[in-house]
């Protein structure tokens, strides 16, 4: 059966104290909205409708960036969750299949939970996701008979016996699309807030003789984000889970609490990650690599048995082949470094290709930017670049070529050739002593003038 996602993302998030829509605040370098969408994509939906409101243009652009086929509808007034879902009715008119209602500020639902809800739909007309709360507080309570859901009771309307119930409502709902919108059309706003509540569909369904069922999940999956403090807590929760998953998959983290991952980080087994390493988005590290301390990686690919760091920075477009060594205080951007090549110290490699087994000396810079355009440096196999070489792109060094230390290379260097490009050294006997004497006299004269 086909599935449609309805993701509610209209809220302003007043407690965030931000000009940015709440659902676009990031966890592990990705908007909360993307986390919710990724969870929903595990259902292989045929349609995805995002209900936007506050700063709808930004929300629409973000949704389409992650999922180009996503559709956005506008909730001009925020009149409750039922009203929000109703805005998707026209977009899904004629759709045949189940609709899942998710929330753009609830990023941690798992594939297993959503698949459990999908399976439960074969046994019930309406499926609601619930959780056992450590502190139920003012959550709506789910009154059940086994897994059958009898009603949802808002805290303010609950009796003492109902308030003692710890099974709480997450707000996540699944039902046949036509049934969902038929029920929502009957929801009234005769409550203190004057809002249309999605939760009312359970009572309406039971009044029609339809069945409702609860699927339970861990409370951590239902975490909603409404403030900066909760955002920080969500980041910590994501990182803890991501680190644990890596270690379960065979990755060694020497100081797990100091490693920070992105939402899409991939790290192969038998990789070792030392303390204080940060992953930005779009990083792949293959098996057996070593990422040494205080390194920062984003938008890069690190192959098997490569070593990165300590204190290295890999920027977008960095491609390291097997056995490459990137050492301390080295930055690599938009560059392909072939098998066994070494860039060990204090070096910038940008817009470049480095051939297999080549060695790049300390202090080397590929001078890739002329103030307007970027230019490329190509270094062949088995080349040796001497320390403190400036490679003024566009420039090519052939296989087996060498540059002398301190050279400024502005022309191509043929295979097996040595390039030496530095001014001749001059030695002037006794000049240093004369220069120091002159400078010290000048300094004393300036000090005397200040004291006068």
Higher pLDDT, 146 or 393: 393
pLDDT level of residue 138 (50, 70, 90 thresholds): confident
Q: What is the DSSP letter of 425?
A: P
Positions marked catalytic: 345
- In a 3-state reduction of DSSP, which class is residue 22? helix
Domain boundary among the residues 157, 192, 222 is at 222
- Which pLDDT value is given to residue 155? 84
431 lies in a domain?
Answer: no
Looking at the structure of the chain, the number of domains it has is: 2
244 and 141, same domain (yes or no) = no
- Which pLDDT value is given to residue 349? 98
260 lies in a domain?
Answer: yes
428 lies in a domain?
Answer: no
33 lies in a domain?
Answer: yes
Task: Over range 210-224, report the average pLDDT.
Answer: 95
Task: Over range 178-194, report the average pLDDT.
Answer: 91
- In a 3-state reduction of DSSP, which class is residue 160? helix
Owner of token pair 């969750």: 81
25 lies in a domain?
Answer: yes
Q: What is the DSSP letter of 424?
A: P
- Which pLDDT value is given to residue 452? 67
Closest CA to 155 of 165, 144, 145, 170: 165
The chain-wide mean pLDDT, for the chain, equals: 95
- Of the listed ranges 49-58, 139-148, 359-368, the one predicted with least confidence: 139-148
Look at residue 192 and tell me whether its pLDDT is greater than 80: no
Give the Cα separation of 192 and 132 in Å (integer). Answer: 27
104 and 33, same domain (yes or no) = yes
- In a 3-state reduction of DSSP, which class is residue 399? coil
354 and 312, same domain (yes or no) = yes
164 and 252, same domain (yes or no) = no
397-422 confidence digits (pLDDT tens): 999 999 999 999 999 999 999 999 99
Beta-bridge mates of residue 418: 402
Domain boundary among the residues 179, 206, 222 is at 222
- Which pLDDT value is given to residue 1? 80
Domain of 70, CATH number, reads 3.90.550.10
Look at residue 295 and tell me whether its pLDDT is greater than 70: yes
425 lies in a domain?
Answer: no
233 and 218, same domain (yes or no) = no
- Calculate what percentage of the chain has a pLDDT beyond 70: 100
- Of the listed ranges 28-37, 149-158, 247-256, 268-277, the one predicted with least confidence: 149-158
Residue 80 structure tokens: 């409750």
- Which pLDDT value is given to residue 157? 81
- Which pLDDT value is given to residue 54? 92
- Calculate what percentage of the chain has a pLDDT beyond 90: 89
Q: Which residue range is the domain that position 56 belongs to?
A: 3-222
- Which pLDDT value is given to residue 450? 85
pLDDT level of residue 451 (50, 70, 90 thresholds): confident
71-96 confidence digits (pLDDT tens): 999 999 989 999 999 999 999 999 99
């Amino acid at each position: 059966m086909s599935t449609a996602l309805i993701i509610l993302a209209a809220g302003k998030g007043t407690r965030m104290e931000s000009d940015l829509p709440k659902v676009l605040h990031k966890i592990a370098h990705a908007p909360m909205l993307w986390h919710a969408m990724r969870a929903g994509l595990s259902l292989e939906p045929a349609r995805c409708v995002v209900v936007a409101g506050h700063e709808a243009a930004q929300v629409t652009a973000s949704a389409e960036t992650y999922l180009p086929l996503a559709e956005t509808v506008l909730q001009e007034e925020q009149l409750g969750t039922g009203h929000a879902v109703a805005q998707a009715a026209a977009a899904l008119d004629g759709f045949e299949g189940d609709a899942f209602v998710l929330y753009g500020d609830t990023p941690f639902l798992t594939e297993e939970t959503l698949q459990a809800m999908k399976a439960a739909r074969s046994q019930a007309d309406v499926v609601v996701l619930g959780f056992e709360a450590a502190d139920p507080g003012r959550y709506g309570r789910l009154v059940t008979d086994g897994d059958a859901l009898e009603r949802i009771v808002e805290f303010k309307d609950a009796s003492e016996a109902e308030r003692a119930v710890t099974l709480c409502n997450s707000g996540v709902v699944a039902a046949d699309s036509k049934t969902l919108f038929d029920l929502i059309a009957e929801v009234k706003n005769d409550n203190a807030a004057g809002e249309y509540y999605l939760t009312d569909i359970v009572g309406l369904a039971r009044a029609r003789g339809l069945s409702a069922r609860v699927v339970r999940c861990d409370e951590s999956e239902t975490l909603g984000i409404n403030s900066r403090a909760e955002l920080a807590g969500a980041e910590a929760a994501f990182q803890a889970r991501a680190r644990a998953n890596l270690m379960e998959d065979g990755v060694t983290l020497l100081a797990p609490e100091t490693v920070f991952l992105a939402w899409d980080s991939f790290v192969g087994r038998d990789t070792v990650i030392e303390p204080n390493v940060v992953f930005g988005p779009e990083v792949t590290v293959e098996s057996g690599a070593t990422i040494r301390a205080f390194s920062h990686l984003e938008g890069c690919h690190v192959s098997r048995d490569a070593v990165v760091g300590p204190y290295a920075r890999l920027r977008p477009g960095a491609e390291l082949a097997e056995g490459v060594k990137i050492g301390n205080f080295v930055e690599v951007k938009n560059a392909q470094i072939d098998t066994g090549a070494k860039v060990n110290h204090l070096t910038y490699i940008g817009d470049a290709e480095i051939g297999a087994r080549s060695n790049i000396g300390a202090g080397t810079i590929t001078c890739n930017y002329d103030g307007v355009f970027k230019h490329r440096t190509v270094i062949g196999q088995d080349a040796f670049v001497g320390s403190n070489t400036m490679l003024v792109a566009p420039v090519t060094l052939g296989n087996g070529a060498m540059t002398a230390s301190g050279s400024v290379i502005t022309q191509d260097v043929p295979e097996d050739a040595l390039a030496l490009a530095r001014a001749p050294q001059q030695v002037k006997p006794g000049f240093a002593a004369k220069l120091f004497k002159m400078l010290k006299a000048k300094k004393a004269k300036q000090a005397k003038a200040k004291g006068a």
